[in-house]
Structure 1
Amino acid sequence: MTTNTPPSGTTPEIESLSKDQCWEMLREQVIGRLAVVDDDHPDIFPINYAVDDGSLVFRTAAGTKLYGSTNNTPVAFEIDGYNPSTEQAWSVVLRGTVLAIRAGAALAEAESLTLEPWQGGLKNHLMRILPLNLSGRRFKVTRPDIWHTPLSDARRASFE
């Protein structure tokens, strides 16, 4: 196994994103990963979501995602990406708790969001992630030729 090491003397700078920047990035995306704990082990699920009044709303069917997100344990949600024009990667992580949206004005409001499931099937459970912590970071990526990255790596397009 080959271990690649960055050039000596280089320390990548990491920019911490403000909460406003994090919410902006969350509003610009439509899919992310929800991490829940089920049967004492973590599971991660892709979900599509909508930002609503300082929280995230998603739909789900009955199952592990529903149980794992509502069993009184914290969850984590992440989006990330790469901007080839700036050669920067970024990541936003929201940690929080999940509440089922069941009735009243909250349900009507959640139903009005543009939140159609990507996967077929009955997704009749609307859930809200209430943030306890929101953080993000952005950094310039290392040139792909330094690390011998595969041809399919998204960074290559920026440098070729």
Structure 2
Amino acid sequence: MTEVSEPVAVLSDDECWERLRTQELGRLVTRIGDRVDIFPVNFVVDGESVLFRTAQGSKLFELTANDEVLFEVDDHTDEAAWSVVVRGHARALDTFAEVERADTLPLQPWVPTLKYTYVRIVPHTVSGRSFDRGPEPDRYGVQQY
């Protein structure tokens, strides 16, 4: 009998962090009341937290009003894909020592704007999935069990 592999696998916490460290662009999800927003941000992993820079505006205001966030990163090739979601709390770095240390990290704005505020997402959970890509099985034929 031929063994059928599962096309979806759960990633361990370590595998999630390994994948996050390979990327620079993610999506920050914020919520205030019934309003949900999503923002693309470039980021860096610092230990087991996510750090990004921002300017004054709606993103920073929303984080001040409700610091609970989701942060999602994914990637794909022709053969495989993955997605990691960080659930946690975001806060602006506010001490000189924190900002001075953050300035040593490889994190620069992607667009030519001044972004003075560093924001750290400290996760309470990290979850991820990996996916083997391929053609859809025959939806109407005999399925292997």
TM-score, normalising length from structure 2?
0.84
Secondary structure of 1:67's counterpart equals helix
Q: Is structure 2 residue 116 aligned with structure 1 residue 124?
A: yes
Dislocated runs of 4+, deviation >2 Å:
10-13, 144-147
Separation in 2 of the partners of 1:20 and 1:12? 21
CA offset at residue 70 of structure 1?
2.6
CA offset at residue 116 of structure 1?
0.5
| Structure 1 letter corresponding to 2:81 | A
**Residues 23-38 of structure 1 aligned to structure 2 (within 5 Å):** 23-38=17-32
Secondary structure of 2:21's counterpart equals helix
- The residue aligned with 2:125 is 133
Over residues 53-98 of structure 1, what are the superposed CA-to-partner deviations in whole Å (9 max), with x where a residue is unaligned? 21011000111111122323410001111123xx111100001111
**Residues 75-94 of structure 1 aligned to structure 2 (within 5 Å):** 75-84=69-78, 87-94=79-86
- The residue aligned with 2:13 is 19
Secondary structure of 1:22's counterpart equals helix
Contact (CA 8 Å) 2:7, 2:133: kept in 1 or not? no
Bigger share in helix: 1
1:64 equivalent among 47, 58, 70: 58
Contact (CA 8 Å) 2:67, 2:91: kept in 1 or not? no
CA offset at residue 39 of structure 1?
5.7
Contact (CA 8 Å) 1:38, 1:64: kept in 2 or not? no
- How many residues align? The count is 136
Q: Unaligned regions of 5+ residues in structure 2, if any?
A: 140-145
Q: Is structure 2 residue 92 aligned with structure 1 residue 100?
A: yes
Separation in 2 of the partners of 1:98 and 1:71? 11
Q: 1:109 to 1:79 in 2, by over 3 A?
A: same
Secondary structure of 1:28's counterpart equals coil
TM-score, normalising length from structure 1?
0.77
Instruction: Give RMSD over aligned pairs.
Output: 2.2
Contact (CA 8 Å) 2:26, 2:71: kept in 1 or not? yes
Secondary structure of 1:107's counterpart equals helix
